[in-house]
């Protein structure tokens, strides 16, 4: 499954009498690296939140932030004993000072500690409610990462076409440069011999050894097999992340490219190998963004 390691998701819902908004962001990281910021009311549920994140995201630095606010219709607590005491105290003051108008409800409610909003901890609901919102944000994140992953996969397929083209040109040039080296070697030996008879059997043997050392057919075959495996991984529709596998295949491709370059002894092939390695580096930069 091709997913980018960069993405964003958000979900909101209610937990008890609190409205909760969860934001999840991810960036590149070799392993699963979570960072969780919860309101104090939810701090005791961090383990459950972390586990929900781990089940949805296998790689990447994941930052989850939850914000909570009381709903508009959240209940307000009134201390009846203090209300009665405050009302009696205000009435006594009115009577003692001969004031008119009596004592009204608003005046009593404005007295200290008569009315209070419930503590956030008393409105926190259940861990199931919170985890459901977290999972919603993670699902949104995964959709965004999958969409970005498809775009990256398209770029990778285009880069692979460039790599395959370079390999085809190297494969076509390889036999030609062996023949050219053979002819140059024969001519050099004859010039050095200065008319002295040359052991043709020995010369043929040396040429055969040289041709074997310069042969890059095995390297090109292995390179092509890695490309096939790379494309197969890009086309997989299963749920398993493929970023690490693609990274390993790229290492093998680079190894074959280096070996081909070291055995080339030919300017056109070396030119192709340099271009090949540049394309592999571009592919590596994109693969690092994949889960």
What CATH number does the domain containing 60 carry? 3.30.230.70
Looking up residue 259, the CATH number of its domain turns out to be 1.20.140
* 159 inside domain: yes
* 283 inside domain: yes
CA distance 138 to 160: 32
The range of the structural domain enclosing residue 134 comes to: 7-73+119-145
Strand order in the sheet with 18-27: 7-15, 18-27, 60-70, 32-37
* 177 inside domain: yes
Give the total number of structural domains in the chain: 3
Radius of gyration, CA atoms only, the chain = 37
Shared domain for 89 and 19, answered yes or no, is no
Shared domain for 224 and 262, answered yes or no, is yes
CA distance 64 to 49: 9
CA distance 49 to 36: 8
Q: Are 132 and 13 within 8 A, CB to CB?
A: yes
Helix (H) or strand (E) holding 288: none
The residues pairing with 21 across neighbouring beta strands, listed in sequence order, are: 12, 67
Helix (H, G, I), strand (E, B) or coil at 104: coil
Shared domain for 222 and 203, answered yes or no, is yes
* 214 inside domain: yes
Shared domain for 140 and 180, answered yes or no, is no
Domain end marker among 107, 129, 145: 145
pLDDT per position as a tens digit, 98-131:
777 677 777 777 777 776 655 555 555 899 999 9
Shared domain for 154 and 140, answered yes or no, is no
Alpha helices per DSSP H over the chain: 46-56, 80-96, 105-109, 127-193, 200-214, 217-235, 243-264, 267-287
pLDDT per position as a tens digit, 147-172:
999 999 999 999 999 999 999 999 88
Domain end marker among 129, 145, 161: 145
Helix (H) or strand (E) holding 74: none
Shared domain for 138 and 153, answered yes or no, is no
CA distance 289 to 283: 10
CA distance 277 to 17: 58
CA distance 60 to 25: 10
End-to-end C-alpha distance for the chain, whole angstroms: 9
CA distances from 79 to 38, 69, 71, 76, 102 (A): 30, 23, 21, 10, 21
* 188 inside domain: yes
CA 155 to chain centre: 16
The answer on pLDDT for 193 being more than 80 is no
Shared domain for 58 and 46, answered yes or no, is yes
Shared domain for 266 and 224, answered yes or no, is yes
Model confidence at 91, pLDDT cuts 50, 70, 90, reads confident
pLDDT per position as a tens digit, 167-192:
999 988 887 777 776 666 666 666 66
pLDDT per position as a tens digit, 216-263:
888 899 999 999 999 998 887 666 788 889 999 999 999 999 998 888
Looking at residue 12, its pLDDT comes to: 96
Shared domain for 110 and 158, answered yes or no, is no
Shared domain for 81 and 129, answered yes or no, is no
Shared domain for 141 and 168, answered yes or no, is no
What's the pTM value of the predicted model, to 2 decimals? 0.67
* 2 inside domain: no
Identify which of 269, 248, 286 has the alpha carbon closest to the alpha carbon of residue 167: 269
CA distance 276 to 163: 6
Shared domain for 38 and 158, answered yes or no, is no
* 1 inside domain: no
Looking at residue 118, its pLDDT comes to: 53
């Amino acid at each position: 499954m091709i997913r980018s390691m960069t993405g964003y998701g958000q979900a909101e819902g209610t937990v008890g009498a609190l409205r909760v908004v969860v934001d999840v962001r991810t960036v590149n990281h070799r392993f699963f690296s979570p960072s969780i910021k919860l309101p104090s009311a939810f701090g005791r549920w961090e383990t459950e939140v972390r586990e929900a994140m781990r089940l949805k995201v296998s790689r990447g630095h994941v930052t989850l932030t939850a914000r909570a606010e009381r709903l508009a219709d959240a209940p307000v607590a009134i201390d009846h004993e203090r209300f009665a005491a405050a009302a009696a105290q205000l009435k006594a003051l009115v009577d003692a000072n001969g004031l008119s108008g009596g004592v009204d409800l608003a005046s009593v409610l404005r007295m200290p500690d008569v009315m209070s909003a419930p503590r956030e901890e008393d409105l926190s609901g259940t861990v199931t409610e919170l985890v459901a919102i977290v999972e919603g944000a993670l699902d949104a994140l995964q959709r965004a990462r999958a969409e970005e992953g498809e775009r990256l996969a398209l770029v990778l397929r285009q880069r692979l076409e460039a790599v395959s083209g370079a390999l085809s040109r190297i494969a076509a040039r390889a036999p030609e440069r062996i023949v050219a080296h053979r002819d140059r070697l024969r001519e050099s030996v004859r010039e050095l011999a200065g008319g002295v008879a040359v052991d043709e059997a020995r010369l043929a043997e040396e040429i055969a050894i040289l041709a074997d050392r310069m042969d890059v057919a095995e390297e090109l075959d292995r390179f092509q097999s890695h490309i096939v495996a790379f494309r197969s991984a890009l086309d997989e529709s299963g749920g398993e992340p493929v970023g690490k596998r693609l990274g390993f295949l790229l290492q093998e491709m680079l190894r074959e490219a280096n070996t081909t370059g070291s055995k080339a002894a030919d300017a056109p092939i070396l030119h192709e190998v340099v271009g090949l390695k540049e394309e592999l580096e571009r592919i590596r930069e994109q693969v690092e963004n994949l889960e």
